Amino acid sequence: MRTVKAIIERADDGSYSVYMDADDMSYLITGTGETAEGAIKSFQINYEDMKRYYAEEGKDFEEVHFVYEYDMASFLSYYCKAFSLAGLSRITGVNQGQLSHYVTGRRTPSEKTKKKIQYSIHSFAKELGSVNFI
């Protein structure tokens, strides 16, 4: 099964969108929502609808596995259910006020800051993956 990037971005009006990064396919899926989570759900529903449509039309449907990539506002919005900005600040070393600006779209992090946040999140996830309980 082919792997395709699904890009999640926050729009200037505060809504969120998800789109496929695959111009060479016979179909294109998008999704929109008031939240990143809503946009992802819309995207997944639209994918299933496209699959049904192809089946009804008797066309071959190339199933794919999606790997989601987030802009900073979308990531922070989607994962706010698991992380507070204060917690993310402690994990990443990025000021909570800065993170707040990224969520609202008032500011966009530099490439250096994006890499710092990504590295810190991956390190934290790896640490959590090694946790064992007795």
Res. 49: pLDDT tops 90: yes
Residues ≥6 apart with Cβ < 8 Å to 116: 92, 93, 94
Assigned CATH topology for domain 2-70: Double Stranded RNA Binding Domain (3.30.160)
pLDDT, tens digit, 9 for 90 and up, residues 110-134: 999 999 999 999 999 999 999 999 9
Whole-model pTM: value is 0.83
Q: Quick one: which of 74, 91, 75 has its CA closest to 126?
A: 91
Per-residue confidence (pLDDT) for residue 63, from 0 to 100: 95
Domain ranges of the chain: 2-70, 83-129
Q: Which residues of 16-48 are buried (b: 16+ CB within 10 A; e: fewer)?
A: bbbbbebeeeebebebebebbbbbbebbeebbe
What does the pLDDT average to over 49-57? 97
Helices 111-129, 85-92: crossing angle, 10 deg rounding: 90
Residues ≥6 apart with Cβ < 8 Å to 109: 72, 94, 98, 102, 117
Q: Take residue 5 and report the two structure tokens written for it.
A: 């990037």
Q: With contact defined as beta carbons under 8 Å apart, do 117 and 76 qualify? A: no
pLDDT, tens digit, 9 for 90 and up, residues 8-47: 999 989 999 999 999 899 999 999 999 999 999 999 999 9
